[in-house]
Amino acid sequence: MGILLVLASTLHAQDEASLPPNIVLVIADDLGIGEVGAYGQTRIRTPHLDRLSREGALFTNAYAGAPVCAPSRCTLLTGFHTGHAAIRDNHEVDPEGQCAMPAETVTLAALLKAAGYATGAVGKWGLGPPGSVSAPAPMGFDHFFGYLCQRHAHNHFPAYLWRNETRVELVDSLPRSERGGLYAPDLFLEEARKFWHAHRGRPRFLLYATPIPHAALQVPEDSLSEYAGEFPEVPYDGKKGYVPHSTPRAAYAAMVTRMDRDLGQFLEFLAAEGDEKRTLVLFTSDNGPTYNGGTDSQFFSSAQGRRGLKGQLFEGGIRVPLLVRWPSRVPAGSKVASIVANWDLFPTLLEAAGVPSPLGRDGVSLVPAMTGGTGPSADRHLYWEYSSGGGSRAVRFGRWKAIQLRQKQDPQGATLLFDLDADPNETTDLAARFPEVVRHAELLLRDRTPAGLPSWEF
């Protein structure tokens, strides 16, 4: 009998080893590239993210899909940049939610689900209201728990969340509290564990879309106390719809450190489940650091001195961290200098899973780059557009980056040109010195199709 049990256990282990890798994709909300210790942060502690960088690869030239939430998440899930994606800006709908992706959208989750993956998402969705064709389930997720509306996610002690299509009332929560009640990120960690354990024996894809550190500034007392008295403080009054906080800098740092702690606990859980070695873990952010709700991106050097913040196509608004750990595949402690964007994660994760990527997407697989091979071609270009703030476009190609601002008011306005190798903070416009580069950039800036909403067109 003992021999039979050993044989059965061995066969089960062999079956597990033959499965495609599990995938955990963690997306922080408004986290700046400079807010992670591995990227140089000194005031905020992120030991588990730093460990992730030591055990895997750190990308030094990674970009978000957009300077704000919804379009960036759309580019990641579909592999299209914002010149081709269905969602190109935040667009609110009443009473709850944002503009939906078309019903025919084929997402990363849908393709992985068709290939046999169990697909789950926790945290913030923001790509379609409750009951829409673009809720998580129609978009390929077997299980969802979190905020469907990004506006609702501005409160980390919410009165309710959604589990699939069911509204879950949080009767013990204290909405709009500074530091008390049921903390949504804690619930997301527990739900992620439950989803993972429930689907043992299958490859799993988990989209862990934490709403941290997006305002409001809210964090439980045990985390806030870790930063008590560390920084000079001016209380935040809570104007413009956010929650007041007596120590906003400490609260922000504590939020990031608690998010880091959650990641560490989930990584420990993966190890306890026996899944650490066969799980590809990625960490990034949906856009650059913010400017509102009592946050202080200058104090924390959140954009590392780069020009711009969230909502802008300058480097500070779209440059993000990207960390990748894949034991036995990604060299530990490696750095990848390839210029990449989050729409590249679409073909990357499909290739990792052994699933063919649909033709016609803008993304390029990063599997060769992160496993020690050659990165994407230096001849490629990255394109962004953003309709708010007067309408802007940007393109990165090699060392160059071109930006057009206020295109709605002045479609023939100037094209700014920056040499990011020599001027990473975009301080000096070189358009007059390099007119031939500007002409090439203006051709690349036409890389778009008509937008789905008139307000997104310019």
Q: What is the pLDDT of residue 176?
A: 64
Rounded mean pLDDT of 137-151?
98
For the stretch 22-67, pLDDT in tens is: 999 999 999 999 999 999 999 999 999 999 999 999 999 999 999 9
User: Would the pLDDT of 8 be above 50?
Assistant: no
User: Would the pLDDT of 5 be above 50?
Assistant: no
Contact by Cβ (8 Å): 65, 363: no
Query: How many angstroms separate the CA atoms of 51 and 90, rounded?
Result: 34
At 6, the pLDDT band (50, 70, 90 cuts) reads: very low
Q: What is the pLDDT of residue 181?
A: 78
Q: How far is CA 92 from CA 70, 211, 365, in A?
A: 10, 17, 32
Rounded mean pLDDT of 73-92?
98
Rounded mean pLDDT of 261-282?
98
User: For the chain, what is the mean pLDDT?
Assistant: 94
Q: What is the pLDDT of residue 405?
A: 97
User: What does the H/E/C string look like for the chain?
Assistant: CHHHHHHHHHHHHHHHHHCCCEEEEEEECCCCHHHCHHHCCCCCCCHHHHHHHHHCEEECCEECCCCCHHHHHHHHHHCCCCCCCCCCCCCECCCCCECCCCCCCCCHHHHHHHCCCEEEEEEECCCCCCCCCCCCCCCCCCEEEEECCCCHHHCCCCCEEEECCEEEECCCCCCCCCCCCCCHHHHHHHHHHHHHHHCCCCCEEEEEECCCCCCCCCCCHHHHHHHCCCCCCCCECCCCCCCCECCHHHHHHHHHHHHHHHHHHHHHHHHHCCCHHHEEEEEEECCCCCCCCCCCCCCCCCCCCCCCCCCCCCHHHHECCEEEECCCCCCCCEEECCCEEHHHHHHHHHHHHCCCCCCCCCCCCCHHHHCCCCCCCCCCEEEEEECCCCCEEEEEECCEEEEECCCCCCCCCCEEEEECCCCCCCCCCCCCCCHHHHHHHHHHCCCCCCCCCHHHCC
User: Would the pLDDT of 326 be above 90?
Assistant: yes
Every domain range in the chain assigned CATH 3.30.1120.10? 387-456
Q: What is the pLDDT of residue 12?
A: 42
Q: What is the pLDDT of residue 239?
A: 81
At 266, the pLDDT band (50, 70, 90 cuts) reads: very high
Q: What is the pLDDT of residue 4?
A: 37
Q: Which CATH superfamily is domain 21-378 in?
A: Alkaline Phosphatase, subunit A (3.40.720.10)
Rounded mean pLDDT of 324-333?
97
User: Would the pLDDT of 436 be above 50?
Assistant: yes
Q: What is the pLDDT of residue 19?
A: 82
Contact by Cβ (8 Å): 383, 448: yes
Rounded mean pLDDT of 144-156?
96
Q: What is the pLDDT of residue 7?
A: 37
Q: What is the pLDDT of residue 301?
A: 98
At 175, the pLDDT band (50, 70, 90 cuts) reads: low
Query: How many angstroms separate the CA atoms of 191 and 45, rounded?
Result: 25
User: Which of these ranges, 14-28, 178-192, 310-324, 374-388, has the smallest mean pLDDT?
Assistant: 14-28
Query: How many angstroms separate the CA atoms of 57 and 63, rounded?
Result: 15
Q: What is the pLDDT of residue 353?
A: 98
Every domain range in the chain assigned CATH 3.40.720.10? 21-378
Whether the link from the prior residue into 95 is cis, omega within 30° of 0, is yes
Q: What is the pLDDT of residue 241?
A: 73
| pTM recorded for the entire structure | 0.95
Helix axes 248-272, 184-198, angle to 10 degrees: 10
Residue from 34, 80, 38, 76 nearest 336 by CA: 38
Joined together, the tokens standing for residue 278 give 């066969």
In CATH, what class is 387-456? alpha beta
Q: What is the pLDDT of residue 17?
A: 56
Percent of the chain with pLDDT over 70: 94
